[in-house]
Amino acid sequence: MGVPPAEGWGRRAADPVRNDVGVNRERSGGPPGRRLGECADAAPTQAHGARPALTAPGNREGGWENRPPQAQRTRTQPPAAWGTRTVTTTHPDRNHDAPGPQPRRTRTATTTHPHRNNRGAAHDNRAPQNASRSQPGGTRTPRLGQNGCVRYGILGTTQVHRDDGTAVPLAGTRLRSLLAALALRAGRVRTTEALIDEVWEGEPPADATGALQALVARLRRAIGHEAVGSVDGGYRLVAEPDAVDLHRFERLVDDGGRALADGDAAKAAEALDSALALWRGPVLADLPDRVSVAPRYDALRLDARRLRITAEVALGRAEQVLPEAVELAAAHPLNEAVQVLRLRALREAGRGADALVAYEEVRRELAETLGTDPGPELRALHTELLNPSAPAPAPAPAAAARLGNVRARLTSFVGREADLSAIAADLAAARLVTVTGPGGTGKTRLSQEAGDLVADHWPDGVWFAELAPVEDPRTVAVAVVNALGLRETLLHAASATEAALAAEAKGVAAKDPLLQLTEYCAERRMLLVLDNCEHVIGAAAELTERLLAHCPDVAVLATSREPLGVPGELIRPLDPLPQPPALRLLADRGAAARPGFTPDEDPEACAELCRRLDGLPLAIELAAARLRMMTPRQLADRLDDRFRILTAGSRTVLPRQQTLRAVVDWSWGLLSEAERIVLRRFAVFAGGWDLAAAEAVCGADGGAVDARDVASVLASLVDKSLVVADLAEDGARYRMLETIGEYAAERLVEAGERDTVGRRHTTYFREYVRTADPELRGPGQLRCLDRLEREHENLRAAIRRAVDTGDEQEALCLVLACSWFWEMRNYRSESGHWPAVVAAMSPVDAFAEPLRLPPLDRGPLEDPLPMTPQQLTEARRWARTSEVFAYMGERDVWNDPRLVGLGEAIIEAYPPELPQSSLRPGLFRMLGAMLTGRFDRMAELMDDTVASCRLHGRVWELAFALQFRAKVMNDVEDRLEASMEDIREARELFGRVGDDWGMAEVLAAEAEATANAGDWVRAAESCREAIELARKLGAYQHVPIMQVRLGDALANAGDLVEGERLIREGVAEAETYRPVGDDAGYYGKVLLIALLSRRGELDEAFALLDVLQAAPPRGMPSFIVGLLAAIRGWLTGMAGDPYGGLPHLAESVAYMEGHPLSPIIGPRLGVLLFPPGVALFTGIAGLRDGDDVRGPARRAAVVLGAHDALRQTACTPWERTSLDEDAVRLRGYLGEEDFAHAYREGEGLVFAEAVELLRRPV
């Protein structure tokens, strides 16, 4: 619960070369980003992101404190970037007769700082802007003729090197940006407007032209005056293209490409190696708007890598470059040229089989991502890989007509390319392949396409036998005989008897058709396609087994909704179409029905159509036909009535394929009575089920289907493609396609079983989650979380049903048992919505008198239903309080008068001596103090809760109460050690019960407490452990705040780069988990403001602060809001206007004092306002002369003493350094004795007296 300190206040900039305020720095004598009152030559420039060296206050560089007072006074003037008129004078200890450059007199006009917040009135007590004195520092850089600068680098950070290889320093991001913009077009004129836009990224300073001129002057001093030419309206870099690594790279790539085209692979490899070696990092890294130009050069670099690998393969070094080719292909999965390169490298390295696998991966990626097929080059290479030794086919005369009867199709074939290839491979490995799947998945069409694809392998033809019209299983062989053309007439509807009579009428003996078929096929090499076997499955299986046994060169491709069950059968399940090919099918058939149609008309509705129609090709085609008179949205909105809507099938197909209902009716008609009962009962499930649930819900009445029979019936329905089985290590789960589910629900209503089976479903899942609830707080919690995640849709369905039927106890039990799961997995909408719904079901007020009930040691979830009257009351109270507590961080429940009574009732109802006070909702009794506004009672109530848990032996509840108290007490005066004691005990208890979630929470509390104590290493360790546990449990919503805290701890421990990276990652990730992640986002951005300000990036710091203040946290007013006002004051002072920072400081004090939690944690957090106060008062002292200095200087010394006496948490290293530097300045202003006296006076102040100093006029 602790609010993070806004550390780093008052830290001077680490990049003093940057001119963020548009002031001419060469004339002003100092950078704007320095600490208040810092002298112009105080510190050398720090590298970007490097940790500045810390110097003890009494050991300043150059022994400054031992210099004459006059010199000290001169060095403590503010920099000219504050907008003062500056007169440069000489130091009394400087030898002005010595050789070398001497200081010159300069004047800098007063300016208005662009970061001032001018919305309020000017400060009434502002002192006049007196003249100040500063010492210009630095030396002049030799000109071009002296240093010989000849090479420019922009393939990475901007660099300049002399011809002897030594680097030329380029200090400041703006300077490097300018050079990058000029070097990008070396030798060509860049207009002033274009340079301003590129260097300042569309946000130029007030005097942009002047600022650019100053920047050009700095660049000329760095690389030579002659290197930057001036022309009317702009500038140019005077350099040959080859002097810039980017242009040299382009030339070398061009040379390499030409050499490769000419067949000189060795020359190509050498040129391309040289080109790629020029890259040091992202191209134009210092150019703010690099995204508009960088992609071109990144693409050229990719081409260079590809060409170089091509050259190496041509030189016979495929094995050596293969890892790089594979890496390149993985990074660019949709670049066909790169994929061709990988396949060629694999082939030349002797790994042809791997190349074929890689081709299939590429083909699948292109189909699923782009909805396209491989291009000609990839397909040609694939053909070469399939026939590595075959010569190129010579042109041949017209091919002879193929044998067989597979008819030409009338529509395009869409989206089954992978399945087609798989079936072709299956037929090469097995003599019987059965394509299975539910009706409408396109099994028939796929088998026709597969027959065409492999026709060349079957010299005696591919023969297609349609079994759908066959009604009598005994005539299956007759249908196949006729398909082969062995009879003159096809008796589709004939029975076996009728076939025999017809033969007798013709005067011929009836010959066994199966024998006839076997004799005909015995000497032939052919493929027989048996389509739609499911309704004559036994006869089809018998025929197939007979043929395969007696005809060694015959193969069978069957389609069926269930396997044939013949030995040697290879089953190829056909899944519904994935989304990309399903959309392609809808686009193709939709355009045929309504010319001009494309899914782009309404992509969301089209995607919903394909998804809700389960990717079934037949259903999609029926929907496409309706697009003649409906929009995609109208059609999608009517899919709940899909069986009435989707009825416009082709007139030329069988009746069972003309409507969606007919397709499913056909499957239903083939089921046994037990299969129909179980299938319709499956309709009550949502999101799938396992075998135990199926047995409990679908076979519990002892009637037509006993629970013991459900497993075998379920297996049969899976075989018939009406139920989908998803196998996993922890068991199988089952589901129905949405279309089948809708149909089964209709049948359930027709059978009058919806209410009965629905009650079984509700009962089963109520007990499922009720008995799982304790496991969420023990060693099996991860397994339990995963189980509840899988069944979440069923739990939601059970809750809705219980609410809809008015069954209060069922609804209460389900919702309360889900509450901890919802909390752990961040289901915020459920955790707030459903408790409110079930609380409203109660006919009485749960907190009506009497509030204190008799002792109750078993909670409402600890026994099966029905609840006892008192358990029911506890459950109602739990629901009522959960409704409020779920939104405490998001809604302003703190000032809601309607909830004051609830808060008082919670406090009154659960004294520590009652056993129920250690259970939910009594466990959260301390939150009643927040609802009533009695924050002064929170510590007492938390102590009562801990005592109650100890008294009644509730181990987990005690651990929870201890970690909660530790988090709150971290922010309370004089309670840090007590918090650490709570943390140690809670860790032991959570470890004893095996609760990783609880351990993560207590580690978070430990990280905060150890950071408060200044132990950054241990804080980082605790954060890492907490993050690991949270990720393990899937509690990802808790990761961002711990990531931010880890980054803060690492930065304070000295690793600034890694710390900032983690903070930024945490801030970005927090957006995913709003509103839970809001704290991480706010805290992280406050830390980033401090980091930016240390580097002198004040523009960025102010911009981020504007974002934070424009969108304050929701719910209870946060202390961070008050801290933000103080930070604005501090930044304003850093930017050169300490007077302008005072109103913001006063605003932060007022906010803190009015905060609801101020009585208990205000003093601890309020002390955080003192460092910006010290910095601002010290800065104001630096703006004054004579006796006027003493007033603000003495105020700063008093506040500093109060801060050091009252602060109970550790300062960050940077904060401490800043305060120590201020102390040095204050000693200079006041003298050692007066400073010590003022400091001791501050040490004797109480918090309220010290705070008063922050808002009193100076």
- pLDDT tens-digit map of 720-755: 888 988 887 778 999 988 888 888 999 999 999 999
CA angle 737, 725, 533 (to 5 degrees): 75
Of 163-167, 371-375, 905-909, least confident by mean pLDDT is 371-375
Pick from 38-47, 482-491, 511-520, 1227-1236: least confident = 38-47
pLDDT digits (tens, 9 = 90+) for 808-828: 999 999 999 999 999 999 888
C-alpha separations of 843 from 716, 799, 801, 806, 838 in Å: 48, 19, 19, 11, 11
| Token reading at 96 | 């002005």
What are the residues whose beta carbons fall under 8 Å from the beta carbon of 355, sequence distance 6 or more?
343, 346, 347, 385
The CA distance from 1228 to 349, in Å, is 76
**Alpha-carbon distance 175 to 185, whole Å?**
16
Weakest-pLDDT range from 134-148, 256-270, 315-329, 1096-1110: 134-148
What integer pLDDT is reported at residue 136 of this predicted model? Answer: 35
Residue 376 has pLDDT above 80, yes or no: no
Q: How far apart are CA 579 and CA 902, in angstroms?
A: 51
Q: Is the per-residue pLDDT at 869 higher than 90?
A: yes
Mean pLDDT of the residues in the chain = 80
417-573 and 663-752 share one CATH topology?
no
Amino acid identity, position 642: R
Maximal CA-CA distance, the chain: 139
What is the spatial order of strands in the sheet that 432-436 belongs to? 462-466, 526-531, 554-560, 432-436, 569-573
The whole-number pLDDT of residue 398 equals: 38
Helix/strand/coil for 727: strand
Instruction: Tell me the mean pLDDT in the region 642-671.
Output: 68
pLDDT digits 0-9 by tens, 172-188: 788 888 888 888 888 88
Q: What totals of helices (H) and strands (E) does the chain contain, helices first?
A: 54, 12
Cβ(84)–Cβ(130) below 8 Å: yes
Residues in the chain, total: 1258
pLDDT digits (tens, 9 = 90+) for 198-221: 888 777 887 888 888 888 988 888
More confident residue, 20 or 427: 427
Q: What pLDDT score does 135 carry?
A: 35
Q: How confident is the model at residue 626 (pLDDT cuts 50, 70, 90)?
A: confident
pTM for the complete prediction?
A: 0.62
* Lookup: tokens for 183: 């070097």
pLDDT digits (tens, 9 = 90+) for 26-76: 333 333 333 333 333 333 333 333 333 333 333 333 333 333 333 333 333
Is 3.40.50.300 the CATH number for 417-573?
Answer: yes
With CA atoms as reference, report the closest residue to 411 among 638, 587, 199, 148.
Answer: 587
SS (H, E, C) 56-109: CCCCCHHHHHHCCHHHHHHHCCCCHHHCCCECCCCCCCCCCCCCCCCCCCCCCC
> Hunting for tokens 């096929």 — which residue is that?
521
How many whole angstroms from its chain centre is CA 21? 36
User: Among 21, 439, 74, which Cα is nearest to 200's?
Assistant: 21
Residue 1094: strand, helix, or coil: helix
Model confidence at 498: pLDDT above 70 = no
- Cis bond before residue 323 (omega within 30° of 0): no
Q: Cα–chain-centroid distance for residue 1038?
A: 14
Least confidently predicted of 135-149, 299-313, 444-458, 756-770: 135-149
Main-chain phi, psi angles of 136, to 5 degrees: -65, 140
Domain ranges within the chain, ordered by starting residue: 1-94+101-138+1084-1258, 417-573, 579-659, 663-752
Answer with the residue of higher pLDDT: 437 or 593. Answer: 437
Residue 193 or 878, more confident: 878
* CATH no., domain 663-752: 1.10.10.10
Task: Summarize pLDDT for 1174-1206 with one digit per residue, the tens.
Answer: 999 999 999 988 888 899 999 999 999 999 998
Q: Is residue 133 scored above 90 in pLDDT?
A: no
- Integer Cα distance of 151 and 1025 in angstroms: 49
pLDDT at 87 over 90: no
* Cβ neighbours for 1087, distance < 8 A, ≥ 6 positions apart: 4, 6, 7, 8, 1044, 1047, 1048, 1051, 1063
Question: Which DSSP symbol is given to 474?
Answer: G
Of 106-120, 345-359, 942-956, give the range with the top mean pLDDT.
942-956
Q: Does the pLDDT value for residue 854 go beyond 50? A: yes
700 falls in which pLDDT band (50, 70, 90)?
low
Specify the pLDDT at position 511.
65
Query: Is pLDDT at 386 greater than 90 in this prediction?
Result: no
Answer yes or no: is pLDDT of 252 > 80: yes
The answer to whether 1108 and 1082 are in contact (CB under 8 A) is yes
